[in-house]
């Protein structure tokens, strides 16, 4: 499993734990974007193709519809 997939699984767990409010959903989205950005900067776009193939950011926008 590569680092992007591991981060996605971590955020899936966080989503399940914290998805009770829209504020938490927004915080998760912002945190996810920051982490992916840091990875890209650190690895000089090694993961750019993987990120483009992933679920569009924000990952948790669908939760807001159910809140």
pLDDT score, position 39: 74
User: What is the count of structural domains for the chain?
Assistant: 1
Per-residue pLDDT band for 30 (boundaries 50, 70, 90) equals confident
Distance of CA 39 to the CA centre of its chain: 12
pLDDT at 59 over 70: no
User: What distance in Å separates the CA atoms of residue 20 and residue 41, rounded to the nearest whole number?
Assistant: 32
In contact, 67 and 25? CB cutoff 8 Å: yes
Q: Kindly state the tokens that stand for 40.
A: 């890209």
57 backbone dihedrals φ, ψ, rounded to 5° = -80, 135
Per-residue pLDDT band for 47 (boundaries 50, 70, 90) equals low
Range of the domain at 44: 3-66
pLDDT score, position 9: 78
């Amino acid at each position: 499993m590569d680092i992007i997939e591991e981060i996605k699984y971590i955020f899936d767990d966080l989503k399940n734990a914290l998805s009770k409010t829209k504020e938490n959903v927004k915080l998760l989205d912002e945190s996810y974007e920051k982490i992916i950005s840091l990875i890209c900067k650190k690895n000089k776009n090694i993961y750019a193709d993987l990120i483009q193939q992933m679920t569009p950011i924000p990952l948790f926008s669908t939760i807001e519809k159910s809140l």
